[in-house]
């Protein structure tokens, strides 16, 4: 699992200003250090945050369609938006303006006319804090061997995502997977090869994470979960069947298996997110686990849904 902080040049800074000249000046200052995008209105800024997930937003206070305070509030209310540092660029430095910036969740503000070196260093400081927090979250919520999410992520973060899906009155799909005869694999090839097998299977599972909110989780040992928000039973089945084939096609030797290679068994289900909120994520997992047991009973190397 990669633990390095990404370089500043890969950090995306969104410059929001309704004046073209201001955007050009700010971009010329920042482009040597960061990857810059721009938006000329509050609405465009909000849409850009949805599309590109910037690492930091440099936001003009006064714009015609939405003022900076409204834009900041909206971004902070978006999924993931609370983690985006927002620096206001303002022509006033009075106490009332400063307080208004802090109240809507701003990380900092800078007064016009902008001093180039001050702006660059402030952005670097906020990006450094953000990148370190992301690294800490990665270390906290990811399994060290496979790089997938871990049980702590499932407990702490997944319920927040399910709340969002429930607000949209959509379904959540879940696939529970188990490497077939994995104990026999370890006995035959040793635990070092077992770890390599886990990593390769995890990589195959992770390759099917197509959307930002999809989550591949190492549930424990050789068990994995793939959580699919906004996915009905038919969609979950398609992904489950593709996973079975992907692991089979890895063609990892397993002499102790009847297939002669490493295979996967899976159980899947889909429920309304509101039901999952009421009953708890454990109810969804239990339903998929029962289907996984049936997949093993029916001969393994297959996916069974309920």
What domains appear along the chain, each with residue ranges and CATH number? 8-140 (3.40.50.2300), 151-305 (3.30.70.270)
Identify the CA nearest to 60 among candidates 87, 24, 29, 94.
87
Which whole-number Å values give the CA distances from 38 to 20, 41, 122, 155, 259, in the listed order? 10, 9, 19, 37, 54
Q: What pLDDT, on a 0 to 100 scale, did the predictor assign at position 49? A: 92
Count of alpha carbons within 13 Å of 26, Cβ hemisphere only? 30
Residues 60-107 pLDDT 10s = 988 888 889 999 999 998 877 888 999 999 888 788 888 989 999 999
Indicate if the pLDDT at residue 3 is higher than 80: no
Determine the Cα–Cα distance for residues 50 and 177; give it in Å rounded to an integer.
31
Q: What is the mean pLDDT of residues 138-165?
A: 90
Contact 150, 218 (CB under 8 A): yes
Q: What is the mean pLDDT of residues 148-164?
A: 91
Determine the Cα–Cα distance for residues 180 and 235; give it in Å rounded to an integer.
24
- Counting other chains too, the contacts that 104-113 makes at CB distance below 8 Å and 24 or more residues apart are 104/69, 104/72, 104/73, 104/76, 105/72, 105/73, 105/76, 106/59, 106/72
Determine the Cα–Cα distance for residues 27 and 21; give it in Å rounded to an integer.
10
Q: Is 222 a catalytic residue?
A: yes
Q: Which residues pair with 229 in a beta bridge?
A: 172
Count of alpha carbons within 13 Å of 301, Cβ hemisphere only? 13
Residue 133: how many other CB atoms lie within 10 Å: 11
Residues 170-229 pLDDT 10s = 999 999 999 999 999 999 999 999 999 999 999 999 998 888 789 999 999 999 999 999
Task: Select which of 19, 222, 223, 297 is catalytic.
Answer: 222
End-to-end CA distance of the chain: 34
């Amino acid at each position: 699992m990669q633990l390095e902080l990404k370089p500043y040049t890969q950090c995306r800074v969104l410059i929001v200003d309704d004046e073209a000249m201001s955007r050009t000046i700010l971009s010329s200052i920042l482009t040597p250090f960061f990857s810059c995008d721009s938006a000329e209105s509050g609405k465009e800024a909000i849409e850009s945050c949805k599309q590109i997930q910037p690492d930091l937003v440099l936001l003009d206070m006064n714009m015609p369609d939405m003022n900076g305070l409204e834009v900041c509030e909206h971004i902070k209310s978006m999924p993931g938006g609370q983690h985006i540092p927002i620096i206001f660029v303002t022509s006033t430095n009075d106490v009332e303006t400063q307080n208004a910036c802090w109240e809507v969740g701003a990380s900092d503000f800078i007064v016009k006319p902008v001093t180039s070196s001050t702006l660059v260093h402030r952005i670097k400081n906020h990006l450094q804090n953000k990148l370190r927090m992301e690294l800490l979250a990665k270390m906290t919520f990811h399994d060290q061997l496979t790089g997938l999410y871990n049980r702590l992520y499932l407990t702490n973060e997944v319920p927040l995502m399910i709340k969002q899906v429930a607000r949209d009155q959509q379904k959540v799909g879940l696939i529970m997977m188990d490497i077939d005869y994995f104990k026999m694999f370890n006995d035959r090839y040793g635990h070092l090869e077992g770890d390599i097998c886990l990593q390769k299977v995890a990589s195959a599972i992770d390759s099917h994470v197509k959307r930002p909110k999809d989550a591949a989780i190492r549930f424990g040992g050789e068990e994995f979960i793939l959580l699919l928000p906004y996915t009905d039973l038919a969609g979950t089945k398609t992904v489950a069947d593709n996973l079975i084939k992907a692991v089979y096609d890895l063609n990892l030797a397993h002499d102790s298996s009847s297939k002669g290679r490493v295979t996967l068994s899976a159980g899947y289900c889909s429920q309304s997110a509101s039901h999952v909120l009421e009953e708890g994520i454990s109810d969804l997992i239990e339903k998929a686990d029962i289907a996984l047991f049936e997949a093993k009973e029916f001969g393994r190397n297959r996916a069974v849904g309920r």
